[in-house]
């Protein structure tokens, strides 16, 4: 246990598995009371809450879409008080060739990956301002917001938009003491990734100067930095957690 977030309340969206679950556990270990928000499509936020509680932390889960931002933050207030930290981690990631993308594909991707985080930021910020200001927003982007992959045009575009949303939030909310920053993960390990996509993993390891995949815990540590007082004079910034892939020459 550490004390970087002692006494704070953190809302983490998409927190039932993978990166989101790691963030929730890391924040709880740092002293935050954590609200795990999930749409209920996959994962098990209840198991994450139980794991946090076994370690002496405090957490609840809320089944809500990111578009229902007010419901998420109202639940946080009922359980723990006004949220001090928001992590926008929930995301849609589907594989569709560019010429096959439909309006529905674009609408769902941008709704979840851009509009949802924007609504959560606004709901969070209104409550922080009413409470006297201050607070930290951490958005979880992707290196595809800089370098798109085939079949991910809609996803890459959404993550590029999330980067600009982060800067806009930093610009407009800074006067209230609210910071907004972006963590940019590269390829992050999962239980089935190497089995499901061995050629992609091999290409990644060849491209990454550090030669490895990232882990959810490594992304969580970057999010903790932006959420904690250690980054108190940092806003509108991006931190790549990609083993150095973005440092590689493109030619």
So which residues are the catalytic ones? 142, 155, 159
β partners of residue 214 = 188
207 C-beta neighbours (distance < 10 Å), count:
15
DSSP-derived 3-state class of residue 137 = strand
- Distance, in Å, from the CA atom of 161 to the CA atom of 110, rounded to the nearest integer, reads 9
| 15 within 8 A of 37, measured Cβ to Cβ | yes
Q: Which tokens go with 48?
A: 């994450």
164 C-beta neighbours (distance < 10 Å), count:
12
H-only helix segments in the chain: 18-29, 45-54, 69-79, 103-110, 116-130, 153-173, 193-196, 198-207, 216-227
β partners of residue 9 = 33
């Amino acid at each position: 246990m550490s004390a970087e977030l002692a006494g704070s309340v953190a809302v983490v969206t998409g927190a039932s598995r993978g990166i989101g679950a790691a963030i929730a556990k890391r924040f709880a270990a740092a002293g935050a009371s954590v609200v795990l928000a999930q749409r209920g499509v996959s994962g098990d936020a209840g198991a994450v809450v139980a794991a946090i509680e076994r370690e002496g932390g405090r957490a609840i889960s809320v089944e809500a879409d990111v578009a229902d931002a007010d419901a998420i933050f109202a639940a946080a207030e009922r359980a723990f008080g006004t949220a001090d930290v928001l992590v926008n981690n929930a995301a849609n990631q589907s594989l569709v060739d560019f010429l096959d993308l439909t309006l529905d594909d674009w609408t769902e991707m941008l709704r979840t990956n851009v509009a949802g985080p924007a609504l959560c930021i606004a709901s969070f910020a209104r409550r922080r301002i009413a409470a006297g200001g201050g607070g930290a927003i951490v958005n979880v982007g992707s290196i595809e917001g800089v370098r798109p992959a085939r079949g991910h045009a809609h996803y890459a575009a959404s993550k590029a938009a999330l980067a600009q949303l982060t800067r806009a939030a930093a610009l407009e909310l800074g006067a209230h003491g609210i910071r907004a920053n972006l963590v940019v993960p590269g390829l992050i390990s999962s239980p089935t990734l190497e089995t499901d996509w061995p050629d992609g993993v091999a290409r990644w390891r060849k491209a990454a100067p550090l030669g490895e995949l990232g882990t959810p815990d490594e992304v969580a540590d970057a999010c903790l930095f932006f959420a904690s007082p250690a980054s108190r004079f940092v806003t509108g910034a991006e931190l790549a957690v990609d083993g150095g892939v973005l440092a590689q020459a493109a030619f």
